[in-house]
């Protein structure tokens, strides 16, 4: 961020990013209303922690990180009484009878929900939100190598579920 950018109204910058924050949250939380709750918590939290934002860091990455952490906190707090969490076990059933049973081709949306959480978030940050590996790794507080392997595994599973025709897209 340049000096001019950081002098601009950060509130309006966050407003501009809201659609993407909602998209990211929906890839974490199935229920759209719950996803918006997570975004709201994250945004309020971000405003209280503006001093922790390194002005040379991307605002979107920083906010994604707060959204993700807000989600983790919410999951911890609410897992017992509400089912806002994506079915975690579902990710382990990829390739098993459940997925071949009736569905010929998964939609990208439902395929993503079938991934284990760490792969789902990696795919969401890099493929959906377009973050670099480095930025995505920072959001998740993991080394780039870890991010890369989660992404690779997630992609492999998605390829299988989506059955993208090989080579035809070239």
Site string for another protein, 67-106 (x = CB under 8 A): ----------------------------------------
- Cα pseudo-dihedral 141, 115, 26, 79, rounded to 10: -80
Of 28, 29, 34, 43, the one binding another protein by CB under 8 A: 43
The CA distance from 85 to 136, in Å, is 21
130: region left, alpha or beta (phi > 0 left; psi from -120 to 50 alpha): left
Q: How far is CA 56 from CA 29, 129, 147, in A?
A: 29, 19, 22
Q: Which residues bind another protein (CB under 8 A)?
A: 3-4, 6-7, 9-12, 14-15, 18-20, 22-23, 26-27, 32, 36, 39-40, 43-44, 47-48, 50-51, 53-56, 107-109, 112, 123, 126-128, 130, 132-133, 148-149, 151-152, 155-156, 158-159, 162, 164, 166-170
């Amino acid at each position: 961020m340049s000096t001019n950018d950081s002098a601009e109204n950060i509130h309006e910058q966050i407003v501009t990013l809201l659609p993407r924050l909602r998209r990211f949250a929906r890839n974490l939380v199935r229920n759209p209303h719950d996803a918006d709750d997570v975004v709201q918590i994250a945004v309020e939290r971000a405003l209280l922690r503006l001093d922790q934002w390194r002005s040379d860091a991307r605002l979107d990455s920083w906010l994604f990180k707060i959204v993700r952490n807000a989600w983790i906190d919410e999951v911890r707090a609410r897992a017992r009484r509400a089912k806002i969490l994506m079915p975690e076990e579902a990710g382990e059933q990829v390739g098993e009878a459940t997925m071949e049973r009736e569905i010929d081709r998964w939609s990208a949306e439902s395929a993503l929900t079938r991934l284990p959480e760490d792969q789902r978030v990696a795919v969401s940050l890099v493929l959906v939100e377009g973050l670099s590996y480095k930025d995505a790794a920072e959001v998740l507080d993991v080394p780039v190598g870890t991010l890369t392997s989660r992404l690779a595994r997630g992609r492999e599973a998605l390829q299988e579920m989506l059955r993208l025709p090989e080579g035809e897209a070239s």
